[in-house]
Amino acid sequence: MERDTISAEAEQAAPVLEGRRIAIVGYGSQGAAHAQNLRDSGMEVRVGLRPGSASRARAEAAGLEVSDVADAAEWADIVAVLIPDTAQPRVYRESIAPHLRPGNTLLFAHGFNVHFGAIDPDPEVDVVLVAPKSPGPMLRREYALGNGVPALVAVHQDVTGDARRKTLAYAYHLGSARAGLLETTFAEETETDLFGEQAVLCGGLTSLIQAGFETLVEAGYQPEVAYFECLHEMKLIVDLAYQGGLSGMRANVSDTAEFGDYVSGPRVIGEESRKAMREILDEIRSGAFARRWIHDSENGNPEFSRFREEGARHILEPVGLGLRRQMAWLAADAAGGASGNGGAPTPEATSAAKGAS
Ligand code: NAD
Ligand code: MG
């Protein structure tokens, strides 16, 4: 209900972006989708990239005008910062901030840097958030089909009195008002995004899969069978839950599976796990996680690199690689084919669709 009201407001706000110049900084997962959707909605768009950027040819092939980040920022009224979060503070300081004029708009698709203070935005510009709840390729695909993907919208700083209308208009032209807009704050978007990816979507999921796999293998079962049971079938279950919620999923598995769900699920994720979740949330909210991640990035990612290597060495990986090679549809994905689920990445394909949100 509230969503519908906001979508209607977004439609009314749409004309505020007419005649305004929008710079899209970065042409990766989100950048490519924002640039093309806004351009196709009739907006005046320019893409800002580093000299020599590998994305330049793709942006030009899509018929977009490309310039250096500084030139695009100078030209624009609205600057959308759509490069990796770890690269944003420096690019903002060096190539964007010097070119902002009072009343301009700085737009983000994730609140991380502003919320945790890694970017201290110019006090004379509006600072807003439009965070589509999908990877860029899906945002683009749905727009092209005449649909949209839902987005979170927020205003951090409103110097013009028009920040909210500009935010809603941007989301509208991105196609997201067709699917629903949800108003939030930089704090809520950032903290829930980090929590979701750490406790549930990425961290929770990978640890759950590995622990289940290891338990079966340690008990003497074949690793290949353990892989099918603990990882491969995950997609089927997740798709059912995505489509119909947990009840929809339970209605589609056997009664035996459903009974086992009730009996055993709460033992796996018991009080100890909930306590860990609360601690994780505390570390996100206090900024402790952000400081650790920023510190690691600024020092060449020693911790991140070590985690990655350890993850890649887990015995589940070669087992899975061997099995996936025998499944024609997965082998095609591994070669870089479309995955058919909104651009979800495969480990073998270096997809632009990274990020959990
Ligand atoms: P990405 O990794 O796909 O961005 C790559 C682009 O950034 C390329 O064009 C590259 O040339 C450019 N780039 C990289 N380093 C640069 C630098 N130092 N200077 C200039 N340009 C540089 O990024 P993404 O995943 O689209 O994320 C962009 C923003 O969107 C982030 O704030 C992210 O949190 C947010 N977001 C991402 C998703 C997603 O699904 N990927 C979803 C919602 C929000
Ligand atoms: Mg996310």
Pairing mode, strands 105-108 and 21-25? unpaired
Which amino acid, residue 261? D
Cβ atoms of residues 150 and 176 within 8 Å: yes
Confidence of residue 1 (pLDDT cuts 50, 70, 90): very low
The response to whether residue 109 sits with its C-beta less than 6 Å from ligand 1 reads: yes
The response to whether residue 118 sits with its C-beta less than 6 Å from ligand 1 reads: no
Residues with Cβ within 8 Å of residue 169, at least 6 apart in sequence: 10, 13, 14, 15, 16, 17
Q: What is the Cα–Cα distance from 21 to 46, expressed in whole angstroms?
A: 8
Residues 247-290 pLDDT 10s: 999 999 999 999 999 999 999 999 999 999 999 999 999 999 99
Confidence of residue 344 (pLDDT cuts 50, 70, 90): very low
pLDDT at position 331 is 78
Q: Where are the beta strands (DSSP E) in the chain?
A: 21-25, 44-49, 65-68, 78-81, 105-108, 126-132, 151-157, 181-183
The response to whether residue 82 sits with its C-beta less than 6 Å from ligand 1 reads: yes
By alpha-carbon position, which residue is closest to atom 39 of ligand 1? 135
The response to whether residue 29 sits with its C-beta less than 6 Å from ligand 1 reads: yes
**Ligand 1 centroid, distance to 313 Cα (angstroms):** 27
Q: What is the Cα–Cα distance from 85 to 92, expressed in whole angstroms?
A: 11
Residues with Cβ within 8 Å of residue 22, at least 6 apart in sequence: 38, 43, 44, 45, 46, 76, 77, 78, 79, 80, 170
Q: Average per-residue pLDDT in the chain?
A: 93
**Ligand 1 centroid, distance to 81 Cα (angstroms):** 8
Residues 120-171 pLDDT 10s: 999 999 999 999 999 999 999 999 999 999 999 999 999 999 999 999 999 9
By alpha-carbon position, which residue is closest to atom 5 of ligand 1? 28
- The two three-digit tokens of residue 249, written as one number: 């999923």
**Ligand 1 centroid, distance to 129 Cα (angstroms):** 15
Q: What is the Cα–Cα distance from 223 to 110, expressed in whole angstroms?
A: 39
The response to whether residue 31 sits with its C-beta less than 6 Å from ligand 1 reads: yes
**Ligand 2 centroid, distance to 132 Cα (angstroms):** 10
pLDDT at position 339 is 41
Residues 104-124 pLDDT 10s: 999 999 999 999 999 999 999
Active site residues: 110
Confidence of residue 216 (pLDDT cuts 50, 70, 90): very high
Mean pLDDT over 207-231 rounds to 98
**Ligand 2 centroid, distance to 292 Cα (angstroms):** 18
- The two three-digit tokens of residue 166, written as one number: 């500009």
| Sheet strands side by side (includes 105-108) | 65-68, 44-49, 21-25, 78-81, 105-108, 126-132, 151-157, 181-183
Which atom, in ligand 1's list, is nearest to the CA of 357?
42
By alpha-carbon position, which residue is closest to atom 33 of ligand 1? 110
Statement: residue 41 has pLDDT above 90: yes
Q: Is 82 helix (H, G, I), strand (E, B) or coil?
A: coil
**Residues, the chain, total?**
357
Q: Collect residues with CB below 5 Å from ion ligand 2.
A: 193, 356-357
Instruction: Give CA 130 to chain center in angstroms.
Output: 12
- The two three-digit tokens of residue 224, written as one number: 């290949």
Q: What is the Cα–Cα distance from 15 to 219, expressed in whole angstroms?
A: 64
Mean pLDDT over 331-350 rounds to 49
Buried b (16+ CB within 10 A) or exposed e, 120-133: ebbeebbbbbbbbb
Mean pLDDT over 243-249 rounds to 98
The response to whether residue 105 sits with its C-beta less than 6 Å from ligand 1 reads: no
Tell me which residue of 91, 137, 83 sits closest to 110, measured CA to CA.
Answer: 83
